[in-house]
Amino acid sequence: MLNIQEEVSLKDFTTFKIGGRTKYFIKASNDNEIKGAVKWTKEKKLPFFILGGGSNILFSDSDYNGVIIKIENRELNFKGNEVIAGAGIVFLKLILFCKEKSLSGLEWGAGIPGTVGGAIFGNAGAFGGEVKNNIKEVLAVDKETLEEKRFSSKDCKFSYRNSIFKKTKKYIISSGIFSLEKKEKGEIGRVIREHILYRKEHHPLGQPSAGSIFKNIKTKDIENSLLERFFEFKEKAEVPAAYIIDKAGLKGKRVGGAKISEKHTNFIVNYDNAKAKDIISLINFIKGEVKKKFDIELKEEVIIIK
């Protein structure tokens, strides 16, 4: 039986700690509950949104007149070099589970907030690694037919911070099967600790944020004359959005309760009870300044739900 809650505050379910209330809120722990929740919303003729860990989301200040379905499938098992992880598992928990089983390949994700489902949805990546490098299969539910589908890594059509799930919005990720390699547990743990320490030193972890706001820019998309100014990245595949924002002189810029982090300029932090409108205004300001100064169009990585 579905556990349907009413008038739930969304700020409690996002890392930004921002958002109005949703008319209905349903937690779904397995495929049957996911199907039941979608079927119920269709019967009510209401829009719905699939929520994971809320780490890459900005909800509107206004109330959401629909249904939030929070995926909480927390299955976690392994066989040989493969791990099956439910979409609702916190990504760091998956990484630590793999370490205990001496399975390597996901250490790059240590410290990334959010869930397995969200990581697959957006092809999360860091330190040169990406979800696509270790995905063998993804299990998902078709939103229209409610059929269960299996996607190979190729079927997922992964690209930079993107996938078929993000492009089409047709499927609800239920779980993922990761293919990993055996490695000494101590070495895996050392890399995990290094990545977590790096994040503590370079990211504003003490303040609510949604992680990186903008996608990095491919070097091939930048004019050669401008690359001379960005000489540190001239021979690399991409230029970090944080570097570009910093070069635009925007560090510490504030709008209302929102601020561009001094620690990492691709983070906007909710430092003083920010509203969604503050975040959006600051996003638009950054895009405008970067376009004006460098003729570069930044694209949001964060998903804005209005």
Q: Answer yes or no: 254 catalytic.
A: no
List pLDDT tens digits, range 22-77. Answer: 999 999 999 999 999 999 999 999 999 999 999 999 999 999 999 999 999 999 99
Q: Answer yes or no: 300 catalytic.
A: no
The model scores a pTM over 0.85: yes
Share of the chain above pLDDT 90, in %: 91
- Contact between 28 and 69 (Cβ < 8 Å): yes
Please give the pLDDT value at position 176: 98
Catalytic member of 174, 175, 212, 261: 212
Q: Is the pLDDT confidence value at 229 over 90?
A: no
- Contact between 266 and 283 (Cβ < 8 Å): no
Q: Answer yes or no: 301 catalytic.
A: yes
Q: Is the pLDDT confidence value at 297 over 90?
A: yes
Catalytic member of 104, 107, 137, 161: 161
- Contact between 164 and 171 (Cβ < 8 Å): yes
